[in-house]
Chains A and B, each alone.
Chain A
Amino acid sequence: MSADKTLNDLEEVLLKALNEKDLDPETLTKCKELLREIIVKATAVKKEGGDRESIKKAVYDLLNKKVGTIIAT
């Protein structure tokens, strides 16, 4: 159960849940993209030996950066 696998399994569960939701195609695509970004980030941190707190912070920072980008542009 490597970090890759665990987080990829989680992604798979969430993708299935998203597909079952009645979302419009554009929202669904964006949700999936955002989920992928979160999973990639969390996996990277995990691979560097990050614990739960580091992953939590990394996910928070990733989303915060997205807000920062919106505000900056």
Chain B
Amino acid sequence: MRLKEIFIRGFRAFNAEYSFQFEEKMTLFVGANGTGKTSLCDAIQFGILGKLPQYKEIEEAKFQDMIINRNNSNKTVEVSLRFTDGSFITREKTSTALLKPTQEVKISKSERVPTISYEDFRSTIYLRQEQIRRFIEADQKTKVQELSALLGVEAVIGVAEGVKQFMEILQDIIKTKEQTFEDKKRRAMTREEQRKVISGLKEKIKEKWHLSEEELADKITVSHLVSVNRKIRTTFNEICNRLKLDALLTEIKDDIASVGIFIQEFRTQKDNVHNKIKDCMGAVRKYHDLKKMLEELGDKEIISKEINKIQKKIEENREKISNKGKYAKLIACAKDYLKEAMLKNCPICGQPIDIKAILERLDKIEREETEEIQKLEKEIEDLKGREQSLQDKLNSIKELEEQLSKIKSEYSVEENYLEMETKFLEMVKEFEQIEDLLNFRMKKQEANGLTGTESTPSTEELERDHKELKDLKSLASLIEILNDELQKRYSDFINQRLKELDPYIEDYVKILSPHPRFSNVRIRYENENYWLKGISKNGEEVYARALFSTAQLNETAIILLLAMANSAKHKYDFIILDDPSQSLDSRGKERLAKLLAKVAESKQLIICTMDTEFANFIKNSYPAGKFYLFKDYTDEGPIVETWSP
């Protein structure tokens, strides 16, 4: 059903009686700002819905002033719509009481007029000026909200976000409740059970440290623990000083808290200190062993003297050998002479000579000398061996002396480490005892505290808490299941809506916003945002951009509304566009006019605009339409004429 005529009186910009006829396909209202174009669009909405929820942010009193013309003396507004199928609606409101934007003014007269929700009206019939402006001016989040509202899916997003946000909070609530419950359970241990624990602990300590009841009572006093603690600390410091270690234990005060701190620090340091003592003991043992070895090696000076003696003796022997060598040469010469000369008588005395006997005698002497030389050489060898052995000994002494010197410089070798270790182990034993006693004392205090200042929860209270926790977890598991499914599916749900619009969007985009690279364009919801996706000529889907440039936003809003209007199932077969060319350049306006001319083939269009350039394009694209001009504004309302370019 299409609009045929509207009658307005006393409503917003129209104080006097006004009636406008609509052309079956396209009616255009042209006028400057403030001449009543939006009032006309709102009047159509008021006629059909009986309310104007888009102004719900405005106070009721101001809203009252807004819908009733300020010159309207009887404070009565009337809007009547007549449709092409003969049906009509009349809404009349006299200002006897304040009217809310969302409160419907009852139909006073109507005939076969179908009802429609505000959401459907907003999404499929009326694209308001403010709506387009919000697309252009708002931040990204608001733009997303506006698109969701236009698509009619903001409720879906609201539900998904509400459940998700609550799920996160509920998990924190459960965590806190669990902690509280565990705490109560701990406190719920009866005094008797505490006594049993304390008593068991007490017996263990008495047995371990061989203490009587009285001794234990004495030992767990603050003064005793502090005094033992101080003693341990003093001994510990003394040992550390003797070991040349820096012990950084804190100053002890006369309270149990400082004992606790000391215990913690001592526990981390005691093994290191004990290892150091053992290390020192090992070093000292080695020192004494080396010293004993040194003593066994003998006196260094005596050995040096001995070496000198040997070296002297070797020299003597070498000299003897040298002399004997000369003598042997002389004998050899004599022998050679005798053999060559072949003398029979002595050349001096003339007596006959027995050469053979002389040569035998010389041979004997030569042998004896050779033997003597060999003997001397062997003696030298022996002496050298001895010298080397003494030299080795001397070297060993030097080496040992060096090692001893090193140990002495690193460790206090005179220190009685054994005594120190005994003292240390005694101290550790005392420390362990103090640890046990302190632990016992703390448990006892804790037990006293529980049964004293803190109340013990009753079994009923615990059962109640347990049930509460169980119920909460049960509820959380249900919400978790729902939340999982919601988060997985709500985007798909929105996209399903968008997919239904794909054929219209594709069709309109080709006219309104043609793109050289893309054959088609899709709008999809992903990651809590709307994305413009281009479909390239080979069918590939690419992200053209996240929404949107200002002009694209304007275009997208119009395309979405037109697509939704065309896919709408209700009987109202018209679309109202209030100032749709905002932010479009001349080419954009021309393309929009062509698109609207195409849409006018299937839907009746009622367009308001202040833009005469755009109005011209409309006139060119669809000359058969009806064109009104809101020329000037008077107290009674706009001066209306027929518009021509």
Asked if B154 is an interface residue, CB under 8 A from chain A, the answer is yes
**B: contact size bracket:** 35 or more
Q: Is the CB of B154 within 8 A of A51?
A: yes
Report the nearest A residue to B153, measured CB to CB: A6
Closest-by-CB residue of B relative to A53 is B158
9 contacts between A and B (CB under 8 A): A1-B124, A2-B117, A6-B119, A35-B482, A49-B102, A51-B145, A54-B158, A56-B161, A67-B173
Partner of A55, one of B162, B166, B472, B564: B162
Q: Which residues of chain A in 1-57 are interfacial with respect to chain B, using CB atoms and an 8 Å cutoff? A: 1-4, 6-7, 9-10, 13-14, 17-18, 21, 23, 27, 30-31, 34-35, 38-39, 42-43, 46-57
- B199-207, B235-243, B473-481: which one contacts chain A? B473-481
- Assuming A1-B152, A7-B155, A52-B158, is B478 touching A31 (CB within 8 A)? yes
Q: Are A38 and B163 in contact (CB under 8 A)?
A: yes
Minimum CB–CB distance for B465 against chain A, Å: 10
The interface residues of chain A lying within 8 Å CB-to-CB of B584 are none
List the A side residues contacting B475 at CB < 8 Å. 66-67, 70
Q: Does B377 contact A (CB under 8 A)?
A: no
Per CB-CB distance, the 6 closest pairs between chain A and chain B, nearest first, are A59-B162, A55-B158, A1-B152, A2-B117, A56-B162, A52-B154
Q: How far is the CA of A2 from the CA of B154 in the complex (A)?
A: 11
- CA separation between A6 and B109, bound complex, in Å? 31
Q: Known contacts A17-B485, A49-B53: does B159 contact A7 (CB below 8 Å)?
A: yes
Q: Is the Cβ of A14 less than 8 Å from the Cβ of B117?
A: no
Closest to B568 in A: A1
Chain A CB within 8 A of B156 CB: yes
Question: Of B120, B166, B486, B488, which contacts A63 at CB under 8 A?
Answer: B166
Contact residue among A23, A46, A57, A67 (Cβ-Cβ distance under 8 Å from B472): A67
Contact A10:B493 (CB < 8 A) given known A52-B158, A54-B158, A58-B162: yes
Q: With an 8 A cutoff between CB atoms, is B123 at the interface?
A: yes
Is there an interface contact between A64 and B166, defined as CB atoms closer than 8 Å?
Answer: yes
Interface check B213, CB cutoff 8 A: no
Interface residues of B in 466-497 (CB under 8 A from A): 468, 471-472, 475, 477-479, 481-482, 485-486, 488-490, 492-493, 497
Segment 438-487 of B: residues with Cβ below 8 Å from A: 468, 471-472, 475, 477-479, 481-482, 485-486
Contact of B157 among A21, A30, A52 (CB under 8 A): A52
Does any Cβ of A come within 8 Å of B135's Cβ? no
Taking a contact as CB atoms under 8 Å apart, the answer to whether B165 and A56 are in contact is yes
- Known A34-B478, A63-B166, A64-B166; judge A39-B124 contact (CB<8 A): no
- With an 8 A cutoff between CB atoms, is B376 at the interface? no
List, in ascending order, chain A residues with CB within 8 A of B413's CB: none
Q: 0/1 per residue, B127-151, Cβ < 8 Å to A? A: 0000000000000000001001101
Answer yes or no: B170 CB below 8 A from chain A CBs.
Answer: yes
Number of A-B contacts (CB under 8 A): 131
**In the bound complex, how far is the Cα of B166 from the Cα of A42, in angstroms?**
15
CA distance A6 to B468 in the complex (A): 35
Chain B residues lying within 8 Å of A47, measured Cβ to Cβ, are 117
- Taking a contact as CB atoms under 8 Å apart, the answer to whether B482 and A52 are in contact is no
| In the complex, chain A residues whose CB is within 8 Å of the CB of B175 | none
Known: A1-B568, A42-B162, A70-B471. 8 other contacts (CB 8 A): A14-B485, A18-B485, A31-B478, A51-B149, A55-B154, A55-B158, A59-B163, A70-B468
| Bound Cα distance from A10 to B491, whole angstroms | 11
Is residue B56 within 8 Å, beta carbon to beta carbon, of the partner chain? yes
On chain A, the residues within 8 Å of B170 by CB distance are: 63, 67
Q: Knowing A10-B490, A14-B486, A70-B475, say if A3 contacts B481 (CB, 8 Å).
A: no
Given A52-B148, A67-B173: A60 touches B481 (CB 8 Å cut-off): no
B43-87: CB near A (< 8 Å → 1, else 0) gives 000000000010010000000000000000000000000000000
Give the CA-CA distance A48 to B104 in the complex, in Å.
11
Q: CB within 8 A of B155: which of A35, A52, A63, A70?
A: A52
Whether, in the assembled complex, B118 has its beta carbon less than 8 Å from a beta carbon of chain A, the answer is yes
Determine how close the nearest CB of chain B comes to the CB of A68; give it in whole angstroms.
10
Chain A nearest CB from B470 CB (Å) reads 9
Q: Evaluate contact between B482 and A31: CB separation under 8 angstroms.
A: yes
Say whether B156 contacts A7, CB under 8 Å: yes
B472 touches A49 (CB 8 A): no
Task: Report the minimal beta-carbon distance from A65 to chain B, rounded to whole angstroms.
Answer: 11
Report chain B residues within 8 Å CB of A18. Answer: 481-482, 485
Known: A13-B489, A52-B148. A71 touches B468 (CB 8 A): yes
Q: A10-B493, A49-B56, A64-B166 are in contact. Are A55 and B478 (CB under 8 A)?
A: no
Residues of B within 8 A of A3 (CB): 117, 119, 152, 155
Distance of A28 from chain B, by nearest CB (Å): 9
Q: Report chain A residues within 8 Å CB of B149.
A: 51-52
In the bound complex, what is the Cα–Cα distance between A60 and B169 (angstroms)? Answer: 10
Residues in B neighbouring A43, C-beta threshold 8 A: 155
